[in-house]
Chains A and B, each alone.
Chain A
């Protein structure tokens, strides 16, 4: 047997992420003891209607989230306990909701920082209803081999090390969460382990006190001895001593109390849990608690360190008397292993997973993205700019600062061209129709084609063709006239040789000032000389200029339109 929680305990968890984390720990234990998962549902109004995935060995269980306790217990009528992980300002009403359900008999509150008034109200109400309200600030309740409520017990490894997969003979009650786990471990090493271990929380007024649980342990035939870890402050240890001393008890009682250091510390200095707060003399002091427990017949070691040997001695005496039968040990091989996560296995080099697709430009497997072999933060710290990142991701090449400057200027000059172009119009129209940003911008992008922006790629393709084919300007124009039509990148509706496009002048001037070879640009300017002689508006336009400059920087034809899309997106977002 056990107390408070057993194999029939079915849980609803009230709360968000902290509750989900606890559920995952609880699933590990259910898996270890080969029992069904004991968490039925979550109640968390903000996420009502959604579900939570909980790993259960190599399977994944799906647990529903409800808005109210009533909905949860209606869907799962076997729910009989609630764990509360709701923030302090709503903890009272949440726990009260659970207490008021006629299905739920146990409410254990993990929330820390609950006001004393709220905790007192809950304790009072639970008592009136004949239910158990445990906590607040409780780490949880653990019935070895049967039921885990909360994260108590720690990691999967620790569950095995502390033999929590099978019941022992020692009941444990502590305020501290860490020490509860410590005592569970001690009981597994110095004795045969625990029946139930309860964390009552370190607040001033725990909902359920030592005495209530001692009474339960006394009535649980499997529990042969109880261990309590007390703390200065309050009078719950004194009440436990009174209970133990009141008459002959079946269970042995072992206890330690902390707070002797108070006797030598400055007055008023208080440590540890919220409940550890009272004087150095009289009721509430470590010495008084310790003495009361000793007088009542409990075994009270001088220090925490001496508790292990005391537990061992008690265990051996009870074993000799035949009160405790030696526990049937389960070998580690018989226990299920918790499977490793795939991430962990990959990290250890134990498995190889064929990737769905591979990226050669960006690697996200480390602490931060790596662009073509350079960590993003490195690029930042070494003073590189957005154009460097663009070139790295588009062509896997770390360009020079000079090239970066040219790209920057191209983007700046192409960022927008007013509302009258088809792309901007589409975006504005979409925005006016209350289409969200991403779709409105996309509407504009879809307009990029022969009449809007698309000329960059076309111009690039034909000028590149001309140079690759070693054509003269005349040969090129003749070829275009016969086979293609107007030369992409040449001609403007408004601008002309007498009214030049300032953007083109700017770009060409800067490109030429860099003193690097610009074969495509020079070829295009030669073309312009001939075409403008025929008709003065057949100038090298901005699309053509951008195309030939980018070709001269070594960008592939396929990437050219990318510059326009990138640049104009700036304008479209603005519109």
Chain B
């Protein structure tokens, strides 16, 4: 799943004919001045300012300011821009019109294995979580789309009255169209409300799209946001950039505070390594994975990032018995990475644990073993040692 931030999310709804509040995304106070001279609503209406980044609990962090006039919005932009959260700095603020509303509804389209569910409720906002079972839904088979009549029926079941049921059905029909045509995975509008003119308007939304579908959406001019409550770090972005242009894949996510670094092969095996560390009471410092016989330089770049994580005590170079990933070549990349970071004074007291099989496993494992001669604290095991036992060896030694 790939998350889209509010700005581009609202743009998608607008594209498919759904009403959203007026909004602008700014990166400086000057920009807001210029936009205010072009957009009357910025001068006349009450405004909301929010940090436009993938950050969880923005409200608690003071990164959402409500009920502002333009002056207040300028002040808010000044306060929010440049605000530091860990290693990241907030660089975008979204200013939108504050819509006074009395009613809150809920509308969503969720991809399922066989098609999609359309979810609807005549309540919304924070009530949704507690009343989840009262939400009405219909299933739409893949390749079909729901008719307005079906959706109107659903709206009536959800408790909407005659006229509103028709309006909600029309809106839901547009949301479904947006979901279907834009390779949506999950589109949620909460709350859906009504303007003073009696028009339905999406006040807040979650937009999840299928990142793999980018090839058929040349107009997707946004990047996807992280989903774990903080933006990607520079190292993570660099590995993502490498990942996007190689055969095979390399993945990297930092988890601050951990002491066990992961450098395993395979999207499946890597999670078992993470599980094994957690089961032993260890704290993982990152998630990483390489697979699909990636080029050695990509594995080298990944190794350097993993081994440069602060305060790590162990590096787990795990992996199952590869089908076609060349163990000798990918290990050559890892070894080059080890040497590079050690030249910078890292990896000094770090133990390296290796377990692997696959094409050219003998040569790859021998090259790893030879690192002992260079002074690395390295422990090498072959296919006869079960997959995650190296984790147990690493952590049991600590106890």
Contacts and interface: CB of A to CB of B under 8 A. Distances in A.
B279 to A, nearest CB: 6
Nearest to A308: B386
B245 interface: no
A166 interface: no
A158 B387 CA distance: 16
A178 B322 contact: yes
A93 interface: no
Contacts of B325: 178
B271 A261 contact: yes
Nearest to A186: B386
B359 interface: yes
Nearest to A88: B212
A465 interface: no
B287 interface: yes
Contacts of B323: 139-140, 151-154, 177-178, 180-181
Interface stretch (A1-9, A271-279, A416-424, A474-482): A271-279
Interface in B274-299: 274-279, 284, 287, 289, 291-292
A115 interface: yes
A261 B322 contact: no
A308 B143 CA distance: 43
Contacts, number: 184
A501 interface: no
Contacts of A53: none
Contact of A258 (B210, B265, B272, B359): B272
A270 B227 contact: yes
Interface stretch (A299-307, A386-394, A452-460): A299-307
B115 interface: yes
B183 A116 contact: yes
Interface in B284-320: 284, 287, 289, 291-292, 319-320
A237 B161 CA distance: 41
Nearest to A161: B383
A259 B271 contact: yes
Interface string A147-187: 00001111100100110000000000011111111100110
Given A178-B319, A261-B284, A305 B268 contact: no
Given A121-B142, A177-B266, A261-B278, A272 B324 contact: no
A53 B201 CA distance: 62
Contact of B272 (A139, A158, A162, A304): A304
28 contacts: A89-B215, A89-B216, A113-B212, A115-B183, A115-B213, A120-B113, A124-B114, A151-B323, A153-B323, A158-B357, A162-B321, A174-B268, A175-B268, A178-B269, A178-B322, A178-B325, A179-B272, A181-B358, A258-B271, A259-B271, A261-B274, A268-B227, A270-B1, A271-B271, A272-B267, A273-B268, A302-B279, A305-B388
* Ranked 7 nearest A-B pairs via Cβ: A176-B268, A178-B266, A182-B320, A178-B320, A268-B228, A261-B274, A258-B271
Interface of B: 1, 56, 111, 113-115, 141-143, 183, 185, 210, 212-213, 215-216, 226-229, 253, 255, 265-272, 274-279, 284, 287, 289, 291-292, 319-325, 357-360, 383, 386-389, 392
